[in-house]
Structures are given as C-alpha cells and as structure tokens.
C-alpha cells in the first residue's frame, strides 16, 4: 500500500478556475505538508499541519488553502488559478513536527498545468 498518496497525478485547467488536490497518508503520522516544486525544481514548503495547527509559509498567496478533514488527510484547494501556479505539488507527512531526526515521506506529486 502506498504510504502517502495524492490525486490526481496530472491536472490541466484554465486560468481562473478553482481546483483541489487530495492527499492521504496511512502511516498514522501527526503532521502533513504541502510542497511546491517549480520549473527549476526548487522545492519550497507551502504549509505544515499538525494537530489542527496550521503553519503557513508567508510567501504563499491566500488563494491557496489547505483543508484537513482528519489527521490522515490534507487537501489543497486553489482558487482563481494563475499561470504561475503551474508546478508540481507534493504532499508529505512525518510522525510529528519537532523531532530531531524527523523523516519526511512524500507522495508522488501532482503536476498542475494552468493554461
């Protein structure tokens, strides 16, 4: 079974649309994350979510909003999509937030293309 799974794998949409990417982890982890990988392959954290506490990277536009119905799920909603939102989005999880040697488990990514 896949530890961290996200859907869809590919998402092609028009500018201005609203879309969601779903993420689920079956590892029993307390913390989940969303990362954005741009065209130059830089990976930047967007959000971390731990015990109902949301930590937001201040550079993320408020058109992006994570929603966690339960500890095993962290979905990413994007409103009014822009061309610059085109990227690969990775979901990840870890046992908790602050452990010294914390290891991240990543999903396989969602490639978002905004036309």
Applying CB under 8 A, does 112 fall inside the site for another protein? Answer: no
Applying CB under 8 A, does 44 fall inside the site for another protein? Answer: yes
> In whole angstroms, how close is the CB of 83 to another protein at the nearest point?
21
- Residue ranges with strand state E in the chain: 4-7, 10-13, 19-25, 31-37, 43-50, 53-56, 64-67, 75-78, 87-94, 105-106, 110-114
Contact 25, 90 (CB under 8 A): no
Q: Are strands 87-94 and 75-78 parallel, antiparallel or unpaired?
A: unpaired
Reference 77, options 57, 61, 93, 95; nearest CA is 61
Backbone angles phi, psi at 106, to 5 degrees: -105, 150
> In whole angstroms, how close is the CB of 77 to another protein at the nearest point?
20
Q: Closer CB to another protein, residue 3 or residue 12?
A: 3
Q: Closer CB to another protein, residue 14 or residue 58?
A: 58
Applying CB under 8 A, does 109 fall inside the site for another protein? Answer: yes
Which one among 7, 20, 45, 60 touches another protein, defined by CB under 8 A? 45
Applying CB under 8 A, does 68 fall inside the site for another protein? Answer: no
Residues interacting with another protein, by CB under 8 A? 4, 31, 33, 40-45, 48, 55, 90, 92, 94, 97-109
């Amino acid at each position: 079974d896949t530890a961290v799974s996200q859907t869809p794998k590919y998402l092609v949409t028009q500018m201005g649309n609203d879309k969601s990417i779903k993420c689920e982890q079956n590892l029993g982890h307390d913390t989940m994350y969303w990362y954005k990988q741009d065209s130059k392959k830089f990976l930047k954290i967007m959000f971390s979510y731990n015990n109902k506490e949301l930590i937001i990277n201040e550079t993320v536009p408020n058109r992006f909003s994570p929603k966690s119905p339960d500890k095993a799920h962290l979905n990413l909603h994007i409103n009014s999509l822009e061309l610059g939102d085109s990227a690969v989005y990775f979901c990840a999880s870890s046992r908790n937030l602050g452990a010294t040697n914390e290891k991240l488990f990543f999903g396989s990514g969602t490639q978002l293309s905004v036309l």
